[in-house]
């Protein structure tokens, strides 16, 4: 806009302003003043436009730059405060309790190595070359001596799988001499084969193919033992058969990856036998696993000791020794420096050699005794836990044969429900084999719950939950990977065992009640049992209301409202059970989730309470929805009745009595005996009724006695102080006739002590369905109230007091 005004002014000045020639002057002073003012105005407009353009240019430049980079920079305190907020979160967020790494002095040495490496990289080339060569050679020599790997070289890498990818490149260059010249044409004519165990860590084969550019058929998955030995060890006989078949097909067996401690359960392959097989067929043998740390100890098992003779191995000393940000190490043996350089295992760049600096500093700080002590402490922790778990019932250990394994894998498992009298409740009749199998599969959900509980109670244990193909969900204790980081001690292991023993009664009781709960739900009308394999509690149930579309999988607002009210009612009972609502496992419909049972629970009473409470909530919701329409129609009907009553009163009394003065005189001389004709409105029936019987009973002095509240079909008599859903008697066998008689005698004693049968009857009837809830018949009677018209002159029905109901 300013530009257009400026241009218009300029055009007017050019058109109207006259430029005098030499010697000419403006005679009119007014015109001279106008010309002066016009110049000043033009100058002001031009200055304003120039300032506007400069400000807009600054805004465009500053808008493209992020906020922290604007201006002249920030001070060190502000930057560190920002880092702290990013690490620990804002103050408004809920505090979390993740595993905090225990960084000791050896950890500070490792962190110092990263800063020192950045400083060393600024030295001149000659000093940098000498220093990095010394650091690399010292670290390689120390690691080879500590872990019994003679005459080896070392490759330090951040990604743990990167070392194996470089070893595969070295193997390809060693076996294919023309690979540098012909490239993948050589591999096409004779495809390489890489053998991996079925127990290898997930994603390893895919990572190797992506890094090497090989197709997936170049991978061969070797199964584990099925008949003899551990089910997590590689089947050597089957491996040899696979190698012979590949040779017959014209393929080249290239490399075998063995495990000294599988990623799942920590089992070690028969490395000695595998080494002989690899030497026979010219295959490169690579070993990895957590058990390689035990090579630093004085006593090493023969299976792990054979790994010292392999062609290469990958180790992770950072978690073993509690060193943060320390690279992994791949030790290998090869005599051709040119091939190792082509494969990427060695580098001429000094900065690549500085990767070993944090480990070089940390190893010197710990010394041999410190290194051995940390590894030995982790192995002792695993042996301590393994020996303790052998004495605990219902705990199955998966590595009992691996005495030297520093990994303990266990799970909760109960052979037959109700087999142990200590945790035995009322036995479930007619338990079919399929039901037993279903209960065994439900142990996976219970083990997941157990793992989460133990991780919260004993965070220093470092437990992890994992799923195995054959065993199911298990818990793993691997102190070699967590003890040095979390500072795990022997007391933590003892606390872990104590927590497991405290959770066993809950697990056993819940497992036994699952089948009984399912049978009770299936036998109850209006309830649907939901099979959710991920829920560790007693079970999941859904109430099917009248308008429930069973074929739909979408959310149901009416069902959600009923389940929300059901959850509120059940939580008010103050039982030992926990309840929650959420969507169904396979749909979006709301369900009620019943939690773990800490004691013997009466499943029949629990299911009956759920059904009765949900039915009551549904009926009450329908009554509230129809209440407005029923009341409106009732009021209209009552107004019509009142109008008819007024017309009848006019006919009976006559016209003269309606005149104010005359009517009063007539009523004084000849009073009229008016009858009280009122109406009562029954909300339950939705109809109007006459109040004449009420006034007749009131005049006679006889009250209307309400009928007694009927009791349900299954009235539960509860002892004083007994919580809901608890069985009244517990025993090793089913409830017998003798135990029932003794139970009745106990109730009679309580009746006499509490002051009479009326109190006991009231308490027993109040526990129908759930404590404190009236029966449906009693609810129908108490919901009806009466509205009466005591005098015909009233224009509207009035509410009669409680006296009118007697």
What digits encode the pLDDT tens for the residues 323-363?
888 999 999 999 899 999 999 999 988 888 999 999 999 99
Q: Using an 8 Å Cβ cutoff, are 671 and 789 in contact?
A: no
pLDDT at residue 760 greater than cutoff 50: no
* Co-location of 598 and 461 in the same domain: no
C-alpha 245 chain-centroid distance: 46
The CA-atom distances, in angstroms, between 749 and each of 620, 626, 744 are: 38, 48, 9
pLDDT average, residue stretch 391-414: 81
Q: Are strands 284-288 and 252-259 parallel, antiparallel or unpaired?
A: parallel
* Co-location of 248 and 324 in the same domain: yes
Q: At what angle do helices 2-16 and 29-64 cross, to 10 degrees?
A: 150
* Co-location of 326 and 394 in the same domain: no
% of the chain residues with pLDDT over 90: 33
Q: Is residue 399 part of a domain?
A: yes
- The CA angle 275-279-280, to the nearest 5 degrees, is 115
* Co-location of 336 and 300 in the same domain: yes
* Co-location of 499 and 574 in the same domain: no
For the chain, how many structural domains are there in total?
3
Q: Is residue 401 part of a domain?
A: yes
pLDDT in tens, 127-140: 999 999 999 999 99
Choice among 424-428, 467-471, 605-609, 718-722 with the minimum mean pLDDT: 424-428
Domain that holds residue 411: 375-416+436-504
* Co-location of 409 and 328 in the same domain: no
* Co-location of 494 and 528 in the same domain: no
pLDDT in tens, 32-59: 776 777 777 777 877 877 777 776 665 5
* Co-location of 231 and 335 in the same domain: yes
* Co-location of 206 and 252 in the same domain: yes
Q: Where are the alpha helices (DSSP H) in 100-232?
A: 105-120, 125-146, 162-175, 179-182, 184-189, 204-212
What per-residue confidence (pLDDT) applies to 635? 78
Of 622, 645, 669, which marks where a domain is finished? 622
Q: In this predicted model, which residue has the larger pLDDT, 488 or 425?
A: 488
- Whole-number Å distance between alpha carbons of 456 and 733: 37
* Co-location of 276 and 333 in the same domain: yes
* Co-location of 313 and 400 in the same domain: no
What per-residue confidence (pLDDT) applies to 771? 40
pLDDT at residue 289 greater than cutoff 80: yes
Of 622, 650, 679, which marks where a domain is finished? 622
Q: Is residue 491 part of a domain?
A: yes
Choice among 59-63, 273-277, 343-347, 458-462 with the minimum mean pLDDT: 59-63
pLDDT average, residue stretch 264-276: 91
Q: What is the mean pLDDT of the chain?
A: 77
- Whole-number Å distance between alpha carbons of 291 and 315: 9
Q: Where are the alpha helices (DSSP H) in 458-556?
A: 479-486, 490-522
pLDDT in tens, 609-662: 888 888 888 888 777 666 767 777 777 777 787 788 777 777 777 766 777 777
Residue 464 sits in a domain whose CATH number is 3.90.1150.170
Which of 141-145, 622-626, 728-732 ranks highest by mean pLDDT?
141-145
Residue 321 sits in a domain whose CATH number is 3.40.640.10
Residues 6+ apart with CB under 8 A from 221: 196, 197, 198, 205
Residue 315: Cβ-neighbour burial (10 angstroms; 0-12, 13-18, 19+): buried
Which contiguous run of DSSP H or E holds residue 561? helix 557-571
**φ, ψ (nearest 5 deg) of residue 172:** -65, -45
Round to the nearest angstrom and report the end-to-end CA distance of the chain: 89
Q: In this predicted model, which residue has the larger pLDDT, 22 or 661?
A: 661
Residue 440: Cβ-neighbour burial (10 angstroms; 0-12, 13-18, 19+): middle
CB neighbours of residue 732 within 10 Å: 11
Of 582, 600, 622, which marks where a domain is finished? 622
Of 650, 679, 674, 649, the residue nearest 797 (C-alpha) = 679
* Co-location of 212 and 312 in the same domain: yes
| DSSP label at residue 655 | S
Record the tokens describing residue 136, joined without a space.
């690399």
What pLDDT band is residue 719 in, cutting at 50, 70 and 90? low
Three-class DSSP category at 149? coil
Q: Is residue 367 part of a domain?
A: no
pLDDT in tens, 168-202: 999 999 999 888 888 888 888 899 999 999 989 88
Longest CA pairwise span in the chain (Å): 142
Q: Using an 8 Å Cβ cutoff, are 167 and 286 in contact?
A: yes
pLDDT at residue 449 greater than cutoff 90: yes
Q: In this predicted model, which residue has the larger pLDDT, 102 or 359?
A: 359
| DSSP label at residue 533 | T
What per-residue confidence (pLDDT) applies to 557? 76
């Amino acid at each position: 806009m300013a530009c257009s005004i400026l241009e218009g002014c300029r055009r007017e000045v050019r058109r109207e302003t006259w430029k005098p020639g030499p010697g000419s002057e403006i005679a009119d002073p007014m015109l001279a003043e106008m010309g002066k003012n016009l110049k000043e105005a033009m100058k002001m407009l031009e200055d304003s436009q120039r300032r506007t353009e400069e400000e807009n240019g600054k805004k465009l430049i500053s808008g493209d730059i992020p906020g922290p980079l604007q201006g002249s920079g920030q001070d060190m305190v502000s930057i560190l405060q920002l880092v702290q907020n990013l690490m620990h979160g804002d103050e408004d967020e809920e505090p979390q309790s993740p595993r905090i790494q225990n960084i000791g002095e050896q950890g500070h040495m490792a962190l110092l190595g990263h800063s020192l490496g950045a400083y060393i990289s600024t030295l001149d080339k000659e000093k940098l070359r000498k220093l990095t060569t010394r650091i690399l050679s010292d670290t390689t020599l120390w690691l080879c001596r500590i872990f019994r790997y003679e005459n080896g070289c070392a490759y330090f890498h951040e990604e743990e799988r990167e070392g194996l990818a470089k070893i595969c490149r070295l193997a390809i260059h060693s076996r294919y001499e023309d690979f540098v010249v012909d490239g993948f044409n050589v591999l096409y004519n004779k495809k390489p084969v890489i053998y991996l165990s079925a127990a290898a860590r997930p994603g390893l084969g895919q990572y190797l193919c992506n890094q090497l550019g090989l197709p997936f058929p170049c991978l061969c998955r070797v199964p584990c033992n099925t008949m003899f030995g551990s089910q997590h060890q590689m089947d050597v006989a089957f491996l040899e058969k696979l190698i012979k078949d590949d040779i017959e097909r014209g393929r080249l067996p290239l490399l075998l990856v063995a495990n000294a401690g599988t990623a799942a359960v920590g089992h070690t392959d028969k490395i000695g036998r595998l080494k002989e097989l690899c030497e026979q067929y010219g295959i490169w043998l690579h070993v990895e696993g957590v058990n390689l740390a035990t090579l630093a100890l004085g006593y090493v098992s023969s299976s792990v000791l054979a790994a010292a003779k392999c062609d290469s191995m990958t180790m992770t000393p950072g978690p073993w020794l509690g060193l943060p940000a320390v690279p992994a190490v791949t030790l290998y043996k090869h005599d051709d420096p040119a091939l190792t350089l082509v494969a990427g295992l060695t580098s001429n760049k000094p900065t690549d050699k500085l990767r070993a600096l944090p480990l070089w500093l940390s190893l010197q700080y710990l010394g041999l005794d410190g290194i051995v002590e940390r590894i030995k402490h982790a192995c002792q922790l695993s042996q301590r836990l393994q020996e303790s778990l052998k004495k605990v019932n219902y705990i199955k250990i998966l590595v009992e044969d691996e005495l030297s394994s520093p990994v303990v894998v266990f799970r909760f498992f109960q052979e037959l429900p109700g087999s142990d009298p200590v945790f035995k409740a009322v036995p479930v009749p007619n338990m079919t084999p399929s039901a037993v199998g279903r209960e065994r599969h439900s142990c996976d959900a219970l083990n997941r719950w157990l793992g989460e509980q133990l991780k919260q109670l004993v965070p220093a244990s470092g437990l992890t939950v994992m799923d195995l193909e054959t065993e199911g969900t298990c818990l793993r204790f691997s102190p070699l990977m967590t003890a040095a980081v979390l500072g795990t001690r022997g007391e933590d292991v003892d606390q872990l065992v104590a927590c497991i023993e405290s959770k066993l009664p809950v697990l056993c009781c819940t497992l036994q009640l699952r089948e009984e709960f399912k049978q009770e739900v299936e036998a109850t009308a209006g309830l649907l049992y939901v099979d959710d394999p991920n829920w560790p509690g007693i079970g999941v149930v859904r109430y099917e209301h009248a308008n429930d579309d069973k074929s739909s999988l979408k959310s149901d607002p009416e069902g959600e409202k009923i389940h929300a009210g059901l959850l509120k009612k059940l939580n008010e009972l103050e039982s030992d059970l926990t309840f929650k609502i959420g969507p169904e496992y396979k749909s979006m419909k709301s369900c009620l989730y019943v939690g773990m049972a800490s004691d013997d629970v009466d499943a029949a009473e629990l299911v009956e309470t759920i059904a009765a409470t949900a039915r009551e909530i549904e009926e009450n919701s329908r009554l509230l929805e129809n209440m407005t329409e029923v009341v409106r129609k009732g009021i209209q009907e009552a107004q019509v009745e009142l109008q008819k009553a007024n017309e009848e009163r006019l006919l009976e009394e006559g016209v003269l009595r309606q005149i104010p003065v005359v009517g009063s005189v007539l009523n004084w001389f000849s009073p009229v005996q008016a009858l009280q004709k009122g109406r009562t409105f029954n909300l339950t029936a939705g109809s109007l009724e006459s109040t004449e019987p009420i006034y007749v009973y009131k005049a006679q002095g006889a009250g209307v006695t309400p009928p007694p509240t009927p009791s349900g079909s299954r009235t539960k008599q509860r002892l004083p102080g007994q919580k809901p859903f608890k069985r009244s008697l517990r025993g090793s066998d089913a409830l017998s006739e003798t135990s029932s008689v003794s139970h009745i005698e106990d109730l009679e004693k309580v009746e006499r002590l509490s002051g009479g049968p009326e109190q006991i009857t009231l308490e027993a009837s109040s526990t129908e369905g759930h404590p404190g809830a009236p029966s449906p018949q009693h609810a129908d009677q108490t919901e009806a109230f009466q509205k009466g018209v005591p005098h015909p002159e009233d224009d509207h029905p009035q509410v009669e007091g409680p006296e009118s109901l007697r």
